[in-house]
Structure 1
Amino acid sequence: MTVLRRVFFTAVALVSLFLGGVVCLMCQVLAGRDAPAFRVEGHVVSHERGALPVGGDEDAESHTIEVDTASGRHYRVTAVGPGLDLPPGQPVTLDVSTADDSIAYLRAGGSVVDLRPGVVRPVLLIAAALLALGAVYFGAVRLNVYPPVATWLALALGALLAPVAVFVRV
């Protein structure tokens, strides 16, 4: 029984570590999505069109542009849809994220293209991971592997440290 309890304790700890990592990673994705950005002005150097099947839509067309900036940096941007259908030489303004150097917005003429990742998938993954983590801890307490006080302390410590770890990176 002692060996079984140790194996189960180790399994619960590893699953908890994995699920906590998923939650932290998705919080990082959400924090990076809305991180502060700085503006860079440049112009389109090249434009390519390509077929990129998205969600079963075989007719979806992707546009890839390359932008040279006044500071000498070179950016390559790909998106699905007509927002990036820009001719070479077109002046553009990029809003570049300070968190990960990704492009959040592209402004050309009077239009603005939002290039940030969506929020639905990270939020669903966070909810699923937290539900699974709760189920793992509930099962561990019911099987008397963890004492209830240790479980609540671990959850409280994780809840306090996860946001700190995410926002220290940003």
Structure 2
Amino acid sequence: MSAEERRESVILAAIAEFARGGYDGTSTEAIAKRVGVSQPYLFRLFPSKQAMFLAASDRCLADTRKVFAEAGDGLDGEEVLQAMAAAYQRLIVDDPDKLLMQMQTYAAVAAAEAAGDHEFGESARAGWLRMWDEIHLALGADVGETTTFLAYGMLINTLASLGFPSDHRVWAGFYPSARPTV
């Protein structure tokens, strides 16, 4: 495997490990073990645990943006909204690590910001701004639609993270395609 392929496998392993353990609860040893490399090799690919976390967080947001872009490609109006909502629902059901990694990113940003470290926040905000811009354009540059879509998405994140089943009353009023199927 090339160094770039190893780096890619470290990012995927980091998403899985950080999604479950968070920043503080995940060891670089666990990431190295999942990839099948030594810790020293891991640190040849990434200079620090923080760099691994930021790469995992950035990848998670990039993958989410890609899901939205592919779902909305060639559509407009209500169709793009429904397609993106359904695609996001599939993403978090089919790959729950993406949702968990998002939630761990928010927790890590809050903790780091409180401690005076702004690198996590700067990276996460930049990724979110790219996502906002792309969703905003896909939804016809309507601020209200973009805000509503992302607000529903955050509520979906919360409800799914808390394990509410799709038939629970808290899901009432969602876009039908945004309700989880598990």
Q: What TM-score, normalized by structure 2, do the two folds share? A: 0.32
Q: What TM-score, normalized by structure 1, do the two folds share? A: 0.34
More strand by share: 1
More helix by share: 2
